[in-house]
Structure 1
């Protein structure tokens, strides 16, 4: 399970738990009432009583004499417990989702950086291998530069046609790996030419034919 899948699963599980807890708490609050028991010590009519939930006794003020009324109020302690549990669950859920989001973002940045580093290392190794290869002659019509052979076609082709042609002769469209190579290609072309860079897979995201991104070569 990926980090993104786990985050979505945790979010759904947390939402289900929260809805269940809120529903149970609402039902409990709607059925919970204060129970009051009055024990009158005289027959005097009580017209007004001041109820203090923190006190054990109440007094009627409008009767001819002070009438002592015993008030017993019961509270359901589970209401406060469930309310506190709901708040704690919400806090834990939000914290967990925040941690997962940060980890996902950091992992994406790390993988992107690793991909760029690997692409740069691969290009460096290829250049070193090319430099250590024994000198060989290029075929007729090809130009040699730093141990590599380049062919500049005079035919008008599309990018795809040019790519397929290069593959058919055991080559590939040129990948610019440095300023020297770019200068050589620029000075060798007659009009315009295709290079091994395209955004065929995703428009606006440029990749070389070897799979490396344009940004990876720009950082060399």
Structure 2
């Protein structure tokens, strides 16, 4: 079953096909490949370095021409021939300089196009993420709820973390992976009970990983509970289970369902799948 979790492109596998079928805009179809995969634009530092290099090139060319003129003069070369050589060299330097300026202008235009595309992508993503009309539509399937480009299943039954993970895969998804405040707010609203999510440190203690093998540190988003008594999650409490607390859930038996808590993976809890 490891091959199921090695695929990190969960979000687009099922939902992306559905959106194209419904006529919704598919950003990747307009750009040729996804926005995140596009090459970054040339930086301002790159253009500055190029301008400095061109200036040094021009200066060196002028110095070389002066040296060439002295050599020609010392060898008794006619002034007419020297003038022709100097003019040809200057014309070449001028042509190279103009070509370089055109290249810089092209780079500036590329930066403008990149920034415009970034703005368009952000607007499309915002519309998709806040579309209230898609929350209850039938595109996700029965008992699934849509939010943005994902579909979520809130289980009615109770399973331990491993069985929850396997059941999510069985129904075509995986345990929820939360990567934004908007998503966290959506999945935690109205829970009433703790729910398993797709986060664990079963392989290495303290190294929390999502079920798609992405380290938690790479997402840059965490919602661990911060205790008022100075004890914060995850704390790997071993009083109930000597093996520790190696799986994460939204909420615990004591209340706040808007935060993450580590818990014993053997506990039976509800769970949230996504696809």
| TM-score over 0.5 (shorter chain) | no
TM-score normalised per structure 1? 0.42
Q: Which gives a bigger RCO, structure 1 or 2 (Cα 8 Å, sep 6+)? A: 2
